Amino acid sequence: MRLTTERLILRPWEDKDRSPMATIYGDAQVRRFYPKVMTVEETNVAIDVAIGLARTNGFHFQAAELKGSGVLIGMAGLGVLSEASRRQFPGLPLVEIGWVLAKEHWGKGLASEGARAWLDYAWSIGLPEVAAFTAKENEPSQRVMQRIGMIFDPAGDYENPQFGEGHWLRPHVVYRKRNPTL
């Protein structure tokens, strides 16, 4: 799956993406709302899993590069929720949308631009709804969710089991967007 926007190319992962993505995932500021930074090995596994899931589902989280320069700025895409996630959070839609960008590309509207392209794709294949979720404290991602027209669903809020009881990142919020063509 390859999508293009005014400034981005959203495309399948390539081997050349592994090192720059490891740098992005290894940045403590980028990963401040996640359980931890990722190692090079963990990044490679995540990319390999994404490649496999894209083959299985037709899409998954993919590389995001700047059009013209070829610079990898992070990842964006859609992901089919795992069976375990659907059992744990039965009210969520089948597919989530997500993004992670290198900090030097924050505040430029690139996450919103990439996410809008992925939502357009989701609607083009007939998905009825897409969800996004993040730590309650992750206001930057919530602003992107709002910019792309997602609606906060307080009934969907949950405690993320990746974080221990009382951890400041345990409370998570859910946003949704329904397919406007259905």
pLDDT digits (tens, 9 = 90+) for 146-181: 999 999 999 999 999 889 999 999 999 999 999 999
Beta bridge partners of 80: 95
Contact of 135 with 33, CB cutoff 8 Å? yes
Q: Which domains does the chain have, with CATH numbers?
A: 3-178 (3.40.630.30)
The one-letter code for the residue type at 104 is: E
Q: How many other C-beta atoms are found inside a 10 Å radius of the C-beta of residue 50? A: 20
pLDDT digits (tens, 9 = 90+) for 31-47: 999 999 999 999 999 99
pLDDT digits (tens, 9 = 90+) for 133-151: 999 999 999 999 999 999 9
DSSP reduced 3-state for 11: strand
CA–CA dist 1, 12 (Å, integer): 7
